[in-house]
Amino acid sequence: MQWTIDPTHSQAEFSIRHLFTPVHGHMVIAGGTVHIDEADLAKSAVWATLDPASVNTGVSVRDDHLRSADFFDVDKHPEIRFRSSEVLRKADNEFLVTGLLAIHGVTRPITLDARVLGNAVDHRGSRRASFGARATLNRKDFGLRWNQALEAGEFLVGDEVEINLEIEAVLEVGTAIPQAADKAA
């Protein structure tokens, strides 16, 4: 089944340490697809693009700094891209989705711990599914190296970034719906 990501109902959330406190933010998932082939999971695939210019931590000065050349450099790198290379089933609605993530001009492999949250027909008659995924990455692996040393030898910004993706997608027209469609996607 082929699902098209609905950007108005999807987002990428993140958390990173600032001094000793986590800072939370999000950005828009601009588009993508989730293809699930139950008969042959090896044919399943996910791709998505995120808009780093949409980064929002609730503090405009910090958001502007994140858009700058010190971090995402959105003028040179206007997209963050993910394309899967392998989808493995962990449990009924849980998957490991491995693929390539491109941030700031650097492409690296990453594995997402993903899950299908369910699907149903919406108020307009479209079948929608909800997916979630989590991962942890090191921002320096993607060339996001800006930091500031503090007097105690610590650094202002942590390296580990916790990622949480919440995705809602619409079933593409002409895609067959399985018999137990309300229980799993």
**Of the candidates 100, 129, 93, 128, the residue with the CA atom closest to the CA atom of residue 114:** 93
Residue 179 included in any domain: no
Residue 147 lies in a domain: yes
Is 43 inside a domain boundary? yes
Average pLDDT over residues 27-42: 93
What is the structure's pLDDT at 178? 46
Residue 57: which pLDDT band, with cuts at 50, 70 and 90?
A: very high
In a domain, 183, yes or no: no
Instruction: Tell me what pLDDT residue 73 has.
Output: 95
Q: 175 pLDDT exceeds 80? A: no
Residue 85 in domain: yes
Domain limits for position 54: 2-171
Specify the residue for token string 């986590």. Answer: 22
Distance CA 110, CA 88 (A): 14
CATH of the domain at 102: 2.40.128.110
Instruction: With respect to residue 178, please indicate whether it lies within any of the assigned structural domains.
Output: no
Tell me the per-residue pLDDT of 100-117, one tens digit each, with 9 for 90 and over: 999 999 999 999 999 999
pLDDT of 159 over the 70 cut: yes
What are residue 34's DSSP bridge partners? Answer: 3, 46
At 40, give phi and psi (nearest 5°). -145, 90
Residue 25 clears pLDDT 60, i.e. is over it? yes
pLDDT of residue 185: 38
Q: Which of 69-73, 105-109, 145-149 has the highest average model confidence (pLDDT)?
A: 105-109
185 located within any domain: no
Q: 144: pLDDT confidence band, cut at 50, 70 and 90?
A: confident
pLDDT tens-digit readout, 5-15:
999 999 999 99
Q: Does any domain span residue 181?
A: no
Gap between the Cα atoms of 132 and 172, Å rounded: 19
pLDDT category at 156 given cuts 50, 70, 90 is low
Backbone angles phi, psi at 21, to 5 degrees: -110, 135
Q: How many domains does one find in the chain?
A: 1
**pLDDT score of 174:** 65
For the chain, the average pLDDT equals 88
